[in-house]
Each structure stands twice: as structure tokens, then as C-alpha cells.
Amino acid sequence: MTTPDARLDLQRRQRLGMVEAVWGEHKTADQIVAILESFAAAGELGLVTRVAPEKASRVCEALPAVELHADARCLTLGALPPAPAPPAAVAVLSGGSSDRTVVAEISLALRCHGIGVDPVMDVGVAGLRRLLDQLPRLATARILIACAGMEGALPTVLAGLVPQPVIGVPVSVGYGISAGGRTALEGMLASCAPGLTVVNIDNGYGAAMAALRMLRGCAPDASS
């Protein structure tokens, strides 16, 4: 049964074509268990984001059918849609390997909607040739999501090189003045690359849903 303070949006898939995601960071293990049980009772896929390892272990003990996606800090309950045939509709790029968790959250959120993802790791602007070498690989993707910390330059550079929509995700990685991703966020918001879309710091799920909306706007019959 749903906990008294959780009112689930079980019609989100019908209304928006999106699986509802539950923010797990500030919920207890018992609350997450109750919410996932409610999703299962409604026949809906459950997705919980930002779950610390210890809390995830307690949830998995209580609900053995829950799948832990440790790299994304997420939990799911229910069968995920089959992966579509390549090429992937969305390419997710990371400036460095420290962005891996955000990339994994994006990839899982899109996988929950049957959207194919091609992760392109460690192509930050500190070694620009790494990005340029991947441009042929990116040509088949319909949308690009670029995750970067430090000064957050990767989405701006990418948006100046390719014609597809680019979504920038500032990541809370970097020394001192990087300020937990604030510098990357402000740099992306101040980008001179026209049309760059930017989500909040570490908001992988938000970037995935922005990409999903774009895909559905172009092709209303996209997989749900």
C-alpha cells in the first residue's frame, strides 16, 4: 500500500508517455518499498533514482524482484522494454569517466521507455581530438546529450559541430571554483551555441525526459 505522503502519478504514461520516476535520496527504504509495491499493483514499471547503496540493499532484501542498477544509483521493478535495433536514437557523451553515474542514469531512464542509447565516454575538450574522432559515430543519433563538469564546455563545442539537438547536463565534478557543478551550469546557460538545451546539475533523468519529449514531438508513435 502507498505510504500516506506519496501520491503516485500512475497516469503519467497515458498523459505524457513517460514512466513516473521516484526521487529516492530523501525517502526511507520502507517508503521506497511501499511505493514500488504500489507500482507493481498497478501493473506499472517502477523507477527510483538517487538511491544510496545501503538503502538499495535494504529495498532489495524486502523486494527480491527489484533490480539494482548500481552504476546509475537507481532501482527498477518490472520488466524493461526490449532494446531497439541500432542505430541508437540518443547518443550520451561524457567529458570524463567521472561523469559515468549521470550517463548511466540517462541511459536507464531512456531504456525504461524503449529508447536506444549509445554511450560515448571520455570525449572532453581537454583532448578535443577524442571528440572529433567520434563525429562519424554521432551522425546516426537523432539527439545528443552531453554531460560535463569543470567548466562544462563539451555541450557548447558539440552544438557548434553537429546539426542535431544537443542537451547539456552540468555535472558536479571539478576543483574549487567548479562549485559542485555551478560553474558548468552557468557556462552552459551562457553558451554562444544557439539552440543548446540545458538541464540542472546532475539531472540525468531530466535530460532523458527532455530527449524523450523531442523524440515524441518528431515521431508521435515512438516506443513507450
Same domain assignment for residues 180 and 132? yes
String of b and e for 83-110 (b: at least 16 CB within 10 Å)?
eeeeebbbbbbbbbebbbbbbbbbbbbb
Strand 74-77 with 67-69, pairing? antiparallel
Of 222, 212, 224, residue with least CA distance to 90: 212
Same domain assignment for residues 198 and 102? yes
Q: 145 with 167: CB under 8 angstroms?
A: yes
**Would 84 be classed as within a structural domain?**
no
User: Quick one: cell of 55?
Assistant: 538503502
The band of 64, judged by pLDDT with boundaries at 50, 70 and 90, is very high
Residue pLDDT, tens place only, 101-131: 999 999 999 999 999 999 999 999 999 999 9
Same domain assignment for residues 94 and 160? yes
Residue pLDDT, tens place only, 71-106: 999 999 999 999 899 999 999 999 989 999 999 999
Task: Record the pTM.
Answer: 0.91
Cα 103 to Cα 56: distance, rounded to the nearest angstrom? 19
Same domain assignment for residues 40 and 143? no
Residue 125 sits in which domain range? 90-218
Same domain assignment for residues 67 and 118? no
Domain of residue 67, CATH code: 3.30.110
**Would 202 be classed as within a structural domain?**
yes
The band of 224, judged by pLDDT with boundaries at 50, 70 and 90, is very low
CB neighbours (10 Å) of residue 66? 21
Residue 82 neighbours by CB under 8 Å, 6+ apart: 114
User: Quick one: cell of 115?
Assistant: 529508447
Of 152, 146, 157, 148, residue with least CA distance to 91: 146
CB neighbours (10 Å) of residue 215? 21
**Would 85 be classed as within a structural domain?**
no
**Would 50 be classed as within a structural domain?**
yes
Same domain assignment for residues 64 and 124? no
